[in-house]
Structure 1
């Protein structure tokens, strides 16, 4: 082999290595935020049976999530597309990479923090009971002892309910519902005595139908918050950081409080740092 040929071979090898490094760097740079901006679209998995956050009105999406994500989309410079799924399918869908993040929203818990990356909180998620307005036997949360109570299947509210009823002298029967609207329908029909859900959700339901539903005061659950979540990996962190920066901006200019008042009736405490959950 000539010296010239040898040098050509070495240059070819070096060029190939440089190309490989460049491709590797490009792939590494393609985190979830970069992918979202490249596609011009943020894809969000949710359940549209969770008023006032997400629900269908005349067949069209409505609620707090739609309005808030529209503002987030403006800040990120992308469109937002929602995928509607039954709640038990939402978190597995996130893990399978079917969408960029979850817009349930979901309660911040210790167990979930180990598995997912949370955004900053957007609302109060403390657990409370919804009862029929004409039910005089249910004056406080402990009055559900020995009765039948409904809650969302796979929800943190169900976990809080199970922990609470274990403290009662006669634990109630718990029915798990995939669809919260079905739980409210069973409550209205007298098939169950109460529904456990976040105070934000049931206050909205009671406000819409005060002649049928009333919130049992005070709430029985620990103080917890609602937030959105992403996969817990390095690629998702830049998207979470960008989302949180947009949310902090909405705190500062009043847009978040305006949306809370519109959908919840009041502006709610939503920390600008991630809180440590109680359970």
Structure 2
């Protein structure tokens, strides 16, 4: 009886230790840090809309995390190989991505935009045919370009900064990418050099946080998101980065 009691106590102790270890595990979060105003590096820290939201989710869910910066096109493969535990970087929830990773509930609604030089005569997405276009590897904009502007000469780059350099050098006539990124750049570093076409070329695209298939972090994240959106923290973060509360 004593041996059975000892064995039972040992099993319980091991189970408790495993549970504690699981809680203390540091979550690895993949992020493209050239994604202003969502994710970028400033004064040695990772900042932006996504990063503020991530901090609140971690606080609400009770987990520690570390940010692993990588090219946007590497995020989904890194989730598939379990090299990261989650990815946040304004990731569009496309049907193709849903087949290979799990997503949180929608936390932002985005669109695709067109960025051109200040003197460009491109006025809408309909004018992109036959033009030299820059976009990001693995982004939803590449699919849109293939489907809607098949005659465009598209060059793909790993980072946002690469596209901007291509545009400023004259090697690209337009950049097609996430509208909020382009809007932020046009108002800041690109002011007076580039302009963003006012009308998006793709509207109402849901954005979510991505996870490996079957991750138990999905439910925890969704629960945290609901609380953050309900108590006003989400609106405060949105206003901080976009100048207004979410609609």
TM-score (norm 1): 0.77
Cα separation, 2, equivalents of 1:96 and 1:110 = 19
Which residue does 1:3 correspond to in 2?
none
Tell me, yes or no, if the aligned pair for 2:110 and 2:207 is still in contact at 8 Å.
Answer: yes
Which residue does 1:229 correspond to in 2?
210
Tell me, yes or no, if the aligned pair for 1:261 and 1:267 is still in contact at 8 Å.
Answer: yes
After superposition, what is the alpha-carbon deviation per residue over 1:191-226, rounded to whole angstroms, capped at 9, x for unaligned? 211111111111111121321222113111242121
Report the CA distance between 1:178 and its aligned residue: 0.5
Report the CA distance between 1:35 and its aligned residue: 6.2
Residue from 69, 81, 93 that aligns with 1:108: 93
Residue from 144, 157, 171 that aligns with 1:160: 144
The verdict on how the C-alpha distance between 1:58 and 1:202 changes in structure 2, with shifts beyond 3 A counting, is same
Which residue does 1:194 correspond to in 2?
174
Which residue does 1:129 correspond to in 2?
114
CA radius of gyration, larger in: 1
Aligned residues between the structures? 239
After superposition, what is the alpha-carbon deviation per residue over 1:128-179, rounded to whole angstroms, capped at 9, x for unaligned? 11111222x111121122211111011112112221213xxxx210010101
1:95 aligns to 2:80 (yes or no): yes
**Corresponding residue SS for 1:111:** helix
Consecutive unaligned residues in structure 2, runs of 5 or more: none
**Corresponding residue SS for 1:223:** strand
Which residue does 1:5 correspond to in 2?
none
Tell me, yes or no, if the aligned pair for 2:110 and 2:203 is still in contact at 8 Å.
Answer: no
Cα separation, 2, equivalents of 1:71 and 1:199 = 25
Which residue does 1:37 correspond to in 2?
23
Q: Which aligned pairs between 1:142-161 and structure 2 lie closer than 5 A?
A: 142-161=126-145
Which residue does 1:276 correspond to in 2?
none
Cα separation, 2, equivalents of 1:230 and 1:126 = 22
Cα separation, 1, equivalents of 2:149 and 2:246 = 27
Report the CA distance between 1:78 and its aligned residue: 2.5
Which residue does 1:139 correspond to in 2?
123
The verdict on how the C-alpha distance between 1:183 and 1:119 changes in structure 2, with shifts beyond 3 A counting, is same
1:263 aligns to 2:241 (yes or no): yes
Cα separation, 2, equivalents of 1:35 and 1:163 = 47
Tell me, yes or no, if the aligned pair for 2:49 and 2:238 is still in contact at 8 Å.
Answer: yes
Cα separation, 2, equivalents of 1:193 and 1:261 = 32
TM-score (norm 2): 0.87
Tell me, yes or no, if the aligned pair for 2:39 and 2:51 is still in contact at 8 Å.
Answer: yes
Q: CA RMSD in A?
A: 2.5
Cα separation, 1, equivalents of 2:246 and 2:132 = 31
